[in-house]
Amino acid sequence: MLFSSPEYACLLVAVFAAFWLLAGRRLARNLALLAASYVFYASFNFRFVALVFLTSSLDFAIARAIASARSATRRRLLLATSITADLGVLAIFKYFNFFSREIADLLGHLGVPADPFLLSVALPVGISFYTFKSLSYTIDVYRGAMKPGESYLEYLVYVAFFPQMAAGPIARAGSLLPQLARSPALTAENGSRAFFLIGVGLVKKIAIADYLGAHMVGQVFTNPEMYTSLEALAGVYAYTFQIYADFSAYSDIAIGSALLLGIETPANFDAPYRAASLREFWKRWHISLSTWLRDYLYIPLGGSRKGPARTYAALATTMLLGGLWHGASLTFVAWGAMHGGALVLTRVWQRLRGKSRAAGPLWRAACVVLTFHFVAAAWVFFRAPSFEVALGVFSSIASLSGGAANVPWTVVAVLAVALATHWIPAGWMERARSLFARMPPPLQAAILVAVIVAVRELARSEVSQFIYFQF
């Protein structure tokens, strides 16, 4: 059940009606939310609903045991149990076959023939997202950053909350649990914000991401050797904007859907391709994941508190594991290694350069262009199904062969629109949202329906899965 599908629209309308009819009854409305969340997840694969339930139940029980434990040793043991269980589930479903193949290949190179032992299991949609949500809860309780939740039901809803279930944002328990406990309120302001975000998200997804994926990205990353330098470069640019439009669209629709249920969710993107450095990029891209990695991996590894060498090692390790989090493939590891290595070099440069006066606009513009192209180059490994394909894309670009006959003018137009909208001042978007908010609710709903119909007619007839569902 994709956010851009009619089935999701029907589910959201049904949940909206049931939720607000039961708004005054805490138990009933949260039961309705839990049922809707499990129905949503079951639409992908009903068998994995039990996995979500068991993960949630285990971490809820462990967090309460941590809070009541008097021995530091017992607290550490309980936390280790939670971490082992959560990461163990990820290891089995996401990484077992990957490491089994890599070990078999390594043994083969050493002259020891070995066949990999592979598990025949499907990858549950969004497993990395809900695992990180649940794991952060037990860690926060262990650290004393929050008290364990009193309501088992509300914790089940927190982990499985359907707008965030498949691809985030990775909400923290300290933010979401209190909202589930208190009586909700839907204001006209939040309602209009929700409709606006959902409309913008659908345009990004269907008119930009799906269009670029179908008419440029798929072809170039399937047979890169068949394309000229300009065409391969266009394919890389197309994927750079496809993945942003696709994932930020999911976040927009998720935030808007939650708002319709009276729940606030922090922004997950902030025009990342306007960043003048990789450090700034990671403050703007997938904010909920980058802050999660900072708080639960980078800082525990030493962060910036234990000297430059420890900082560089923590940065490199965090990004390597962040790459592996995205997928069980060496191409994702390469993507993480590129970002980790570049972040380390950035820190070294900043340390050697020391404090200096603010850079001028031309210097910042040059840094933005450089950062954008580094990010785009790294996306090649993220998108390519293998190193061979990734190197094929770079080889086609480096060939400097001319011509762009396979780049439709419509792709160029969509890329131009994607680039231009990325640089729209925040004030303009806020004025557009305010104008939309002043319209009567029935007119807002009618505009949203018209947008859905229009972009689907202009783009593709079929709905494409969101890219981040595979993670």
- The catalytic site residues sit at 326
Residue 337: count other Cβ atoms within 10 Å of its Cβ: 17
Please give the full DSSP string across 115-174, using - where no structure is assigned.
-------PPPTTHHHHHHHHHHHHHHHHHTSSPPPS-HHHHHHHHH-HHHHTT-----HH
The structure tokens 């390519």 sit at 384
Helix (H) or strand (E) holding 382: helix 361-383
Distance from C-alpha of 457 to C-alpha of 450, rounded to nearest angstrom: 11
How many angstroms separate the CA atoms of 47 and 41, rounded?
10
Region of 400 please: left (phi>0), alpha (psi -120 to 50) or beta: left
User: Which CA distances in Å does 278 have to 182, 244, 374?
Assistant: 39, 16, 9
- Round the CA-based radius of gyration of the chain to a whole number and report it: 23
Tell how far CA 105 is from the center of its chain.
31
Q: What are phi and psi of 148, to 5 degrees?
A: -65, 145
Contacts of 111 (CB under 8 A, 6+ apart): none
CB 34 within 8 A of CB 160: yes
Which residue carries 């967090």 as its tokens?
63
DSSP 250: H
Cα–Cα distance between 249 and 213 in angstroms, integer?
Answer: 14
Please, are residues 304 and 311 in contact by the beta-carbon 8 Å criterion? yes
Helix 308-326, helix 330-353: angle, nearest 10: 150
Q: Tokens 């089995």 sit at which residue? A: 92
Long-range contacts of 373-377 (CB under 8 A, 24+ apart): 374/278, 374/338, 374/342, 375/240, 375/272, 375/273, 375/278, 375/281, 376/236, 376/237, 376/240, 377/236, 377/338
The upper half-sphere exposure of residue 108, i.e. CA atoms within 13 Å in the direction of its Cβ, equals 9
The DSSP letter of residue 403 is: -
Count of positions (residues) in the chain: 471
Q: Burial of 31 by CB count in 10 Å (0-12 exposed, 13-18 middle, 19+ buried)? A: middle
184 upstream amide cis, omega within 30 of 0: no
